[in-house]
Amino acid sequence: MAKSKTVFFCQECGFESSKWMGQCPGCKAWNTFVEEPAAPKSSRGSQASPRDIAAAVPTKLSMVSPDDHKRTLTGIRELDRVLGGGIVKGSLVLVGGDPGIGKSTLLLQMCQVLAARSVSLLYISGEESLQQIRMRADRLGPFKNDIMMLCETNLDIVEGVVRKYKPDIVVIDSIQTMYKEDIGSAPGSVSQVRESTGVLMQLAKGLGITIFIVGHVTKEGVVAGPRVLEHMVDTVLYFEGDRHASYRILRAVKNRFGSTNEIGVFEMRSSGLTQVENPSEYMLNGRPQGASGSVVSCAMEGTRPILVEVQALVCRTNFNMPRRTSAGIDYNRVNLLMAVLEKRLGLPLDNCDCYVNIAGGMRLSEPAIDLAVVCAIISSYKNFEISAKTIIFGEVGLTGEVRAVNMVEQRVAEAKKLGFSTCLVPEVNLKSVASTEDMAVVGIRTVQDILKYIKA
């Protein structure tokens, strides 16, 4: 009898190897390889039959009709935006995120609004019982129309049910609980998750239904994460947020039908998720008055300007090695900006602890907030406050020069909308924005320049 073959998979990225390895060559993660039975080879030969080949006829590109009109708006604006303007028929959407972040809640709420418009839905849960889902649904408020529910983890049965009822939209919660019997490994393993997604992909394309898959992000857990199937699906959305803050951000990481820059902002309340219409106002909530080390800046999330408060606290260190911490912004970037301040402004920061924080729990990677970080550090070090009506942005280079940022008009407009009266922007950007009656736009060339303007 032939020995049953096994292969090794990286649980982070799904890299396949015939032997065990300490570090994955695909994603460079350590200690992520697990052994799994090899997927059974199909019994058919590798040659397609002449009939199959005759049936597959290539089509001219110009003859293919665009089907952009087959989008369904969910009615949850933040979700529609991230999806690139509604749900595309026949697509496979992965919603990833940490356990407990609100993926099931979001999808159930989507079902709630879609059901009210007579879209036929099937919600398949492998995690919760029907009673648990009912309890969650009751918290979300009344359902105008019913939705079909199924508790099932066997994918063959799921496939049969979907083929039988042919709903418009199917939700699979979660992919890590689904299994196919003919694969030897446990649910949640790389080969199970991959095979299951393949089956769902064929279902979605074949029947023209949209399937939403929930995938838990796992940190060194025993189940395969959503990264393994990112390349197989049409759209990948990640639902993220701080466990301690109530707001959640839905971010498109991959989208075959739209931009990946868009984000949707939600707030988790006792009655489910509500949309945050004005994220800037939300982020600036509770800003201190007259305190040093607090600066408002404007970051772009996709095409959307969001005002954020950058905070810094600089104090004398009691240790040989000063402590530096950053939250919401890259730690190395903060160190770099502090080095620029030491060298170009002569600030003796080498014997100071420094803590930088983006208030509200946002995570930013845009260099456009550099200048705000610099100002917050100066303001805290020198202990003076920066006018609460001023907004500051610009990228800072190593020589202390302030470099141009993109989409200045949108940033200035957002600041105006929220009642700010002064914008400190890179001087090179003055070409595209000018001061108006209620908004003074000031150009900054270097970090030395900024000192003249920020003292309130």
CB 201 within 8 A of CB 162: no
Query: In the complex, what is the shortest distance from the CB of residue 215 to ligand TYD, in angstroms, rounded to a whole number?
Result: 10
Stretch that binds ligand TYD, among 64-72, 92-100, 328-336, 359-367 (CB under 6 A): 92-100
Query: In the complex, what is the shortest distance from the CB of residue 172 to ligand TYD, in angstroms, rounded to a whole number?
Result: 12
How crowded is the C-beta side of 7, counted as CA atoms within 13 Å?
16
Report the alpha-carbon distance of residue 41 to residue 274 in Å, rounded: 47
Angle at 361 between CA 358 and CA 362, to 5 degrees: 70
Stretch that binds Mg ion, among 22-30, 97-105, 302-310, 336-344 (CB under 5 A): 97-105
Report the alpha-carbon distance of residue 151 to residue 129 in Å, rounded: 7
Among 104, 112, 125, 326, binds Mg ion (CB under 5 A): 104
Nearer to ligand TYD, 134 or 343 (CB): 134
Query: In the complex, what is the shortest distance from the CB of residue 128 to ligand TYD, in angstroms, rounded to a whole number?
Result: 8
Query: In the complex, what is the shortest distance from the CB of residue 250 to ligand TYD, in angstroms, rounded to a whole number?
Result: 12
Query: In the complex, what is the shortest distance from the CB of residue 309 to ligand TYD, in angstroms, rounded to a whole number?
Result: 25
Query: In the complex, what is the shortest distance from the CB of residue 220 to ligand TYD, in angstroms, rounded to a whole number?
Result: 18
How crowded is the C-beta side of 286, counted as CA atoms within 13 Å?
5
Among 25, 40, 100, 198, binds ligand TYD (CB under 6 A): 100
Q: Is 96 in the site for ligand TYD (CB under 6 A)?
A: no
Nearer to ligand TYD, 251 or 304 (CB): 251
Query: In the complex, what is the shortest distance from the CB of residue 272 to ligand TYD, in angstroms, rounded to a whole number?
Result: 4
CB 413 within 8 A of CB 425: no
- Residue 174, preceding peptide bond in cis (omega within 30° of 0): yes
Query: In the complex, what is the shortest distance from the CB of residue 34 to ligand TYD, in angstroms, rounded to a whole number?
Result: 23
**In this structure, what token pair is assigned to residue 267?**
């707030």
Residues 6+ apart with CB under 8 A from 450: 371, 374, 375, 378, 392, 402, 424, 444
Burial of residue 246 (CB within 10 Å: 0-12, 13-18, 19+) is: middle
Applying the rule CB under 6 A, the residues between 129 and 158 that interact with ligand TYD are 136, 139
Stretch that binds Mg ion, among 3-11, 80-88, 96-104, 287-295 (CB under 5 A): 96-104
99 binds, among Mg ion, ligand TYD, none (CB under 5 to 8 A by kind): ligand TYD
Among 24, 39, 79, 101, binds ligand TYD (CB under 6 A): 101
User: Interface mask (CB under 6 A) for ligand TYD, residues 218-257, using x and -?
Assistant: ----------------------------------------
Among 91, 104, 177, 380, binds ligand TYD (CB under 6 A): 104
Report the alpha-carbon distance of residue 371 to residue 454 in Å, rounded: 11
436 CB neighbour count, 10 Å cutoff: 10
- Map tokens 């009939």 to a residue: 51
Applying the rule CB under 6 A, the residues between 259 and 318 that interact with ligand TYD are 268, 270-272
User: Interface mask (CB under 6 A) for ligand TYD, residues 325-364, using x and -?
Assistant: ----------------------------------------
- Residues that bind ligand TYD (rule: CB under 6 A) add up to a total of 14
426 binds, among ligand TYD, Mg ion, none (CB under 5 to 8 A by kind): none
**In this structure, what token pair is assigned to residue 283?**
């982020």
Stretch that binds ligand TYD, among 9-17, 100-108, 308-316, 392-400 (CB under 6 A): 100-108
Angle at 99 between CA 188 and CA 25, to 5 degrees: 50
Nearer to ligand TYD, 139 or 323 (CB): 139
Nearer to ligand TYD, 79 or 295 (CB): 79
Helix %, strand %, coil % of the chain (to 5): 30, 30, 40
Report the alpha-carbon distance of residue 108 to residue 94 in Å, rounded: 15
Applying the rule CB under 6 A, the residues between 29 and 48 that interact with ligand TYD are none
In 200-286 the beta strands, taken as DSSP E runs, fall at 210-216, 235-241, 247-255, 263-269, 272-275
Phi and psi of 89, rounded to 5°?
Answer: -65, 135
Contacts 24+ apart (CB under 8 A), 1-7: 4/37, 4/38, 4/184, 5/37, 5/38, 6/35, 6/36, 6/37, 6/38, 7/35, 7/36, 7/37, 7/38
287 binds, among Mg ion, ligand TYD, none (CB under 5 to 8 A by kind): none
Binding residues vs Mg ion (CB under 5 A): 104
- Where do contacts with ligand TYD occur on this chain (CB under 6 A)? 97, 99-105, 136, 139, 268, 270-272
